[in-house]
Every structure is written in C-alpha cells, then in structure tokens.
C-alpha cells in the first residue's frame, strides 16, 4: 500500500521509516521538492522511501498522514490539494500548539475548546476522511506501543467508521496498540488535542517523552 506523509519533522520521519520497514511504499512531502531533510530520509530509509512536495506526497498516498506543525496544517493541506486527497483517509496526528510565548506551549485559541484542528480540517476538506489519532503520544511510542511495559490507551475519532476500521487495523497490527478507545466523531478531536497542556507538563515533570495515560473504570 502507498502512504503519503506530509511533514519532514521527527514525526513524519518516524512514522515514514516504520511504514517502509513494514513494506509500505512511502512518499514524504514538504514545501519544496528538494528539502534536504526529506532527501536525506528518502536516501536512508530504504528502497520504498520517496520524497517530493506536499502535493506529490498527497497524490501518491492511498492513506495520508498529516505530520505538520499544527498552526500551518490547514495551509499545508490546501497546498497539498483537495483533489489529491479526495476520497482518501487523512490521519491527523498534529496538535495546534502555540510556542510563541515560550514553554510550555498553549493551544491556539482559534483551534481549541469549541473547535479543534481535526474538526477544522474535516470542515475545510469534506471529501477527505479525517481520522484523528496518535496525537497524544510521542512519535517513538506512536509506532511501537510496546515501548512501554504497561497497559496504556490510544484515542481515535472521526466521522467515517470504515476509515477508522482501516486505521485501527494499522494501529493494532503494525504499531502494536492493544487498547484503542474510539471516542466517536471528529468533534472529539478537541478533547484529545486538549490533553496536550497536560502532556507537556508531564513531560517536564517526568523528563522523558515515553509515557502515556491509562483510563480505568
Ligand atoms: N514530536 C512528537 O513526538 C509529536 C507527538 C504527537 C504529536 N505531534 C505533532 O505532530 C506534528 C509534527 O511534529 P514534528 O515535531 O515532527 O514537526 P514540526 O516541526 O512540528 O512540523 C514540521 C513540518 O511542518 C511544516 N511547516 C513548518 N513551518 C511551516 C510553515 N510556515 N508553512 C508550512 N509548513 C510549515 C514543515 O514543512 P517543511 O517540510 O517544508 O519544512 C514540516 O514538514 C505537530 O503538529 C506536533 O504537534 C508531535
């Protein structure tokens, strides 16, 4: 299967590399056709790793991952092109963090509380099946839930049930997530994005990004 990864940061790199190892074909996209980080990644990740613009990666992927800086994700997706994504699943792992006033970051006010990045992406691209997941954990944990020797939970939400079934399959089989909590439609992404203010504080306290939450009843 072909995957488009939008983003050349550590998340795009980590998810892309893992998927190539699992025999997917992966094209990483960025603002330019000759992004040095993307070129380096494509050289080192293996024969099935390719790179190009955001639009080329979106057109390539049967499934697309949004791994871009949250404040620019909507602009990036417009650049990727609605036509290149229509009818496809977009896995949104981005968070609308605002680092402009230093650490810890806040959530961008126009993308939180009564809405969210995931919802705004779904509104802007109604032909795309947006699935919000993986945004509440560090990228190393995203692709290998067994990194923690404990029970822990991953959240997922989105409007299209069949799209969520496909992504849950990848999460379980490829990324080894044993416990996935389906919160419902895409409006629930405001809740998972609002975990981030807690996440960054726990990171400060624990001094490791390798931790997660477990919901008990
Ligand atoms: N780091 C983690 O473990 C983690 C965990 C959970 C969720 N997330 C979320 O995952 C996303 C990716 O995080 P990251 O740390 O890998 O990378 P990042 O530095 O947040 O984002 C990198 C991507 O954003 C694009 N970008 C940056 N400025 C831009 C601008 N002005 N206009 C258009 N695009 C721009 C870059 O494009 P170019 O390639 O063209 O430079 C690059 O592809 C973020 O939303 C983050 O909150 C991260």
Q: What is the pTM of this model?
A: 0.98
> Is 12 near ligand 1, meaning CB less than 6 Å away?
yes
- Give tens-digit pLDDT for 112-152: 999 999 999 999 999 999 999 999 999 999 999 999 999 99
Mean pLDDT throughout 10-36?
98
Nearest to 51 by CA among 62, 60, 61, 42: 42
Mutate to test the pocket of ligand 1, among 8, 11, 27, 120 (most ligand atoms within 8 A of CB): 11
> Is 66 near ligand 1, meaning CB less than 6 Å away?
no
- Give tens-digit pLDDT for 167-204: 999 999 999 999 999 999 999 999 999 999 999 999 99
Nearest to 188 by CA among 212, 164, 214: 164
What confidence category does residue 63 fall into, taking pLDDT thresholds of 50, 70 and 90?
A: very high
* Helices 36-45 & 10-21 angle (0-180, nearest 10): 20
């Amino acid at each position: 299967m072909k995957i488009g990864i939008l983003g050349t940061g550590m998340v795009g790199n980590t998810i892309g590399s893992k998927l190539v190892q699992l025999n997917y074909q992966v094209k990483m996209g960025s603002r330019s056709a000759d992004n040095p980080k993307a070129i380096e990644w494509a050289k080192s990740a293996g024969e099935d790793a390719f790179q190009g613009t955001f639009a080329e990666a979106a057109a390539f992927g049967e499934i697309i991952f949004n791994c871009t800086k949250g404040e620019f994700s909507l602009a990036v997706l417009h650049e990727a092109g609605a036509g290149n994504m229509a009818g496809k699943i977009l896995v949104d792992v981005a968070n609308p963090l605002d680092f402009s006033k230093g650490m810890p970051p806040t959530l961008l006010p126009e993308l939180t509380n009564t809405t969210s990045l995931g919802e705004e992406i779904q509104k802007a691209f109604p032909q795309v099946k947006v699935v919000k997941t993986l945004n509440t954990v560090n990228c190393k944990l995203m692709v290998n839930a067994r990194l923690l020797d404990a029970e822990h939970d991953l959240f997922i939400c989105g409007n299209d049930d069949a799209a969520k079934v496909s992504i849950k399959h990848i999460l379980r089989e490829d990324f080894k997530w044993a416990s996935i909590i389906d919160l419902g439609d895409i409006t629930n992404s405001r809740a998972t994005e609002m975990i981030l203010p807690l996440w960054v504080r726990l990171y400060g306290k624990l001094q490791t990004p390798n931790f997660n939450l477990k919901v008990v009843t």
